[in-house]
């Protein structure tokens, strides 16, 4: 059994996942780093262990594969690791019209953004409840607050994550376990290119810094907040989405996503 508190971070090889891992290592947490790219994970492991004197475990896994979360869970059990923090960060987006989209990519997006997140939470939270302590951070987005034409499945997946996280936060009240939905706006992580949005898209012209979003998100999680909205633009958009008609919000999102 590990002596230090340990955090499991999915999508840890780059972007927000890597930055969140750095923040938690600086806070003294050992890490379980999960992502597809084993080489990048080992590079991050070496960096964290050298800089922060923590132990980082690497598990390369493609969470788009059915029940990949079970493999992650088995890895944790085999090494008798106690997971104190679960960060469900892994996810990706895609752009274009739904009826013309590649079906397998849309299916994989739901598997990673929603199903794997659900499964890891379902597997690890009971251990936290039994101990009477634990934290979960799920990566949602400002996209959760309205429909997103040309990125329909991505926006819908993030709306699920936000609703799911808030519901669990209330269900787990009094258990010692908290759930935080991190809702950043556009962030400089490489998401734009991975989602095939094209260089210089409107949405990413004023992207937030990934290290700053990670730091503030971790601070919110460690304080036990249910929802953490990062950046002034994000907060304004989330507030505006509650005031304007949904037809207006989705047309605005459509212009941003083109």
| Residues involved in catalysis | 154
First to last CA, the chain: 50
**Rounded Cα–Cα distance for residues 248 and 164 (Å):** 25
* Sheet-wide strand order for 6-10: 56-60, 30-35, 6-10, 83-88, 134-139, 177-184, 227-230
């Amino acid at each position: 059994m590990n002596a230090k508190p340990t955090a499991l971070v999915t999508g840890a090889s780059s972007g927000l996942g890597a930055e969140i891992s750095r923040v938690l290592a600086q806070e003294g947490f050992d890490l379980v780093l999960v992502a597809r790219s084993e080489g990048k994970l080992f590079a991050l492991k070496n960096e964290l262990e050298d800089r922060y004197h923590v132990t980082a475990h690497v598990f390369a896994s493609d969470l788009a594969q059915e029940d990949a979360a079970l493999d992650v869970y088995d890895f944790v059990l085999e090494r008798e690791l106690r997971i104190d923090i679960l960060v469900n960060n892994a996810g990706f987006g895609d752009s274009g019209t739904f009826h013309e989209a590649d079906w397998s990519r849309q299916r994989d997006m739901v598997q990673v953004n929603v199903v794997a997140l659900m499964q890891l939470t379902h597997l690890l939270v009971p251990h936290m409840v039994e101990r009477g302590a634990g934290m979960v951070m799920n990566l949602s987005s400002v996209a959760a607050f309205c429909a997103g034409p040309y990125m329909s499945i991505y926006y819908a997946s993030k709306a699920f994550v936000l609703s799911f996280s808030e519901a669990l936060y209330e269900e787990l009240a009094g258990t010692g376990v908290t759930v935080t939905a991190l809702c950043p706006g556009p962030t400089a992580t490489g998401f734009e290119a991975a989602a095939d949005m094209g260089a210089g898209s409107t949405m990413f012209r004023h992207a937030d810094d990934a290290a700053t979003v990670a730091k503030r998100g971790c601070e919110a999680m460690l304080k036990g907040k249910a929802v953490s909205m990062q950046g002034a633009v994000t907060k304004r958009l989330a507030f505006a989405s509650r005031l304007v008609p949904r037809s207006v919000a989705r047309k605005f999102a459509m212009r941003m996503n083109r």
